[in-house]
Amino acid sequence: MSLNEDHYRAKEWGQGHFRVDSAGFLRVIPGGDSSSVRLIDAVNALAQTGVEDPLVVRFPQILQSRQRRIREAFAAAISEYEYPAGYQGVFPVKVNHNRHVVETLVEGGRDHGFGLEVGSKAELCLALTLELGAGAYIVCNGFKDRDYLLLACHAAKQGRCILLIAENPQEVKEIIEISFAVGHMPDVGFRARLHAQGTGRWQESSGHKGKFGLSTMEILEGFEALEQANMLDRLLALHFHIGSQVSDILNIKGSIKEASRLFAAMKQKAPSLCVLDLGGGLGVDYDGSRTSTDWSVNYSIEEYARDAVYMVKDICDEARVAPPLIMTESGRALCASHAVIVLSALRVVGCHESRDYNRHQTEANQIEDLKATLEEIGETNFREAFHDATQLLNELLSGFRLGYVTIDERAVGECLYRDICTKVRGFMTPEKKRTHDLVALEKQLAPKIVCNFSVFMSAPDSWAVQQLFPVLPLTRANESKRSAATIGDITCDSDGKLDRFIGRNGVEPYLRLPEPIEDEPFHIGMFLVGAYQDVLGDFHNLFGTVNEAVVMVNGEDDFSIAHVTEGSSIEHSLDQFGFSMTDMVRGFDRLVDRRQSRDAVQSYKGVFLRVLHGNTYLNQI
């Protein structure tokens, strides 16, 4: 194990797709056990063609590898337990609408009945334009209006495999009514509102108080409605969902057990029932800890599959009903790993440099005391020195607010305090820095590396729900000398930052990075961002989407750039909010100062148009 893998834990969270080599380069292994490439080589190749960071690099082979692993995990479990029915996966489109993502998964699953899950009319339209394999379902979830149901019923009449999930009692009635109008009844499923809940950030979305699903009584009433319409034989599926990123396998087991009991009981009344849709929730181990914390999971894909198959079979055998086809709607587990955000450092803010403060006139007693404290710091008194310096600085700042301390004295006091903190940090071995104030000191001294990106567009969950994403340098990652730092973006928002990172001792408020080399580019990667981040991105400060590249690995250190998508131009970002190109140019022309020379006006307009057509992020200097 390299020094880096021990620190950044790439081997633990990388799920076989990422590692650091002996030279300190981050490598991508799409197949998990196949050829690898250095990510920085792909980044440099893109830069040579004019595609600069910030950028998202996608590896479609990782998508197919994850898809294959889930499918093979269920196949192995079905074989082990002699399960008489099969397994089919569907991809919930809401997790990532990117065309390359969706089409890659459809292509990889075409021979295995892999389908799509949609939750809106727009997503249904998307799914109906794609050629799925034989027997692959389009599972229709979410609240539905008449047009949604009409489109689904017409698609079913055309021969598409539609599984229309009733989310509430009213939808059961509307499905029956519209099916009569269209002249065709699609396959139908009931979403159950289980009492079992998930764990983690989204557990409140499940359980008996969730906004989706039928209660037990409403399921019975749904039976009656379908039977009266002579359509009970179209009821094929029971569906449930216990939330996203379920971290504890015990909660998954509890929900599957409850749903299997419900399925067995329902099948007594509806013999056509033959599909059990376990929904999503299969989590990703973002921090590599294999625990039941919010951003980890205490189980593997293989354990999830074995538990699901075993419990469904055991309960159905006990109830003497035929076990169903098992369906899952895993999204995060499929696509989180395939995308990396690549950032470059623009500048360092808050990096401490010693100052010559003796040339400033000072008379405050606290200044002399701070100088004495700095001189006397040693192995035995560094904690006491830190506490004394903190008190002295607070006294200086209070005096400045009251008008008794000069600006020179404040400046010198701040510099002395910073020097003291830096010297104290030199005595802080891992065994000695466990106190809260000294841990806070490390964070306080950590400079902020400003990177050319927007947290709100590229990693919104790190801000919105404090999601933890692995972050590490793409080069020199195995160097033993590292300095603590945090990462800031270029938005005008104090929340535009990354200050929670994976460390050897859990989550840390800073990232340890190798010392930057002057005039040498320094790239940082944020990993496992392929789920939801593309969909949730926000145009904060009008920073738009970033450049994207699809990279194929052809062999060891051999890759090709399959596709490039340019990020949002400023023109496009403004158009999102009603400022059209035409209106912008008219407004510019109306307000330009015509008293200036023609050359000055033309030069001004030329710069305006060039910026308007350009990328929203900063140009590399």
* H or E segment to which residue 19 belongs: strand 18-20
Residue 481 pLDDT class (50, 70, 90 cuts):
confident
Surface-to-core class of residue 82, CB atoms within 10 Å of its CB (0-12 exposed, 13-18 middle, 19+ buried): exposed
Range 411-437 average pLDDT? 80
Surface-to-core class of residue 111, CB atoms within 10 Å of its CB (0-12 exposed, 13-18 middle, 19+ buried): exposed
Question: Which of these, 44, 17, 40, 51, lies nearest to 563 by C-alpha position?
Answer: 51
- Average pLDDT value for the chain: 91
The answer to whether the beta carbons of residues 87 and 93 sit under 8 Å apart is: no
pLDDT at 27 over 70: yes
CA separation (Å) from 510 to 295, 445, 478, 602? Answer: 17, 10, 17, 48
Range 450-464 average pLDDT? 94
Residue labelled with tokens 């400079």? 447
Residue 553's SS3 state is: strand
Regarding beta strands 471-473 and 523-526, do their DSSP bridges make them parallel or antiparallel, or are they unpaired? antiparallel
State both tokens at 414: 């701040």
pLDDT of residue 520: 83
Range 387-411 average pLDDT? 94
SS3 letters across 83-146? CCCCEEEEEEHHHCCCHHHHHHHHHHCHHHCCEEEECCHHHHHHHCCCCCCCCCCEEECCCCCH
Q: Which of 17-21, 357-361, 409-413, 561-565 has the lowest mean pLDDT?
A: 357-361
Residue 580 pLDDT class (50, 70, 90 cuts):
very high
pLDDT of residue 132: 97
Query: To the nearest whole percent, how much of the chain has pLDDT over 70?
Result: 94
pLDDT of residue 5: 53
pLDDT at 4 over 50: no
CA separation (Å) from 428 to 240, 373, 381, 431? Answer: 51, 17, 11, 8
Residue labelled with tokens 């065309």? 99
Cα Rg for the chain, rounded, in angstroms? 29
Q: Helix 598-613 and helix 581-591: axis angle, to 10°? A: 160
Q: Which of 96-105, 225-234, 248-257, 430-439 has the lowest mean pLDDT?
A: 430-439
pLDDT at 505 over 80: no
Range 579-600 average pLDDT? 92
pLDDT in tens, 273-321: 999 999 999 999 999 999 999 999 999 999 999 999 999 999 999 999 9
Residue 606, Cβ neighbours under 10 Å: how many?
Answer: 10
CA 522/CA 485 separation, integer angstroms: 14
* 158: CB partners within 8 A, 6+ apart: none
pLDDT of residue 3: 46
Which range has the top average pLDDT, 324-328, 416-420, 617-621? 324-328
* H or E segment to which residue 80 belongs: helix 60-80
Cα 50-52-58 angle, rounded to 5 deg: 110
Phi and psi at 239, nearest 5°, equal: -125, 145
Residue 166 pLDDT class (50, 70, 90 cuts):
very high
Q: Helix 365-376 and helix 407-425: axis angle, to 10°? A: 20
pLDDT of residue 1: 43
Residue 432 pLDDT class (50, 70, 90 cuts):
low
* H or E segment to which residue 341 belongs: strand 339-349
State both tokens at 189: 């499923």
pLDDT of residue 353: 64
pLDDT of residue 614: 94
State both tokens at 266: 């329902």
Q: Which of 111-115, 340-344, 534-538 has the lowest mean pLDDT?
A: 534-538
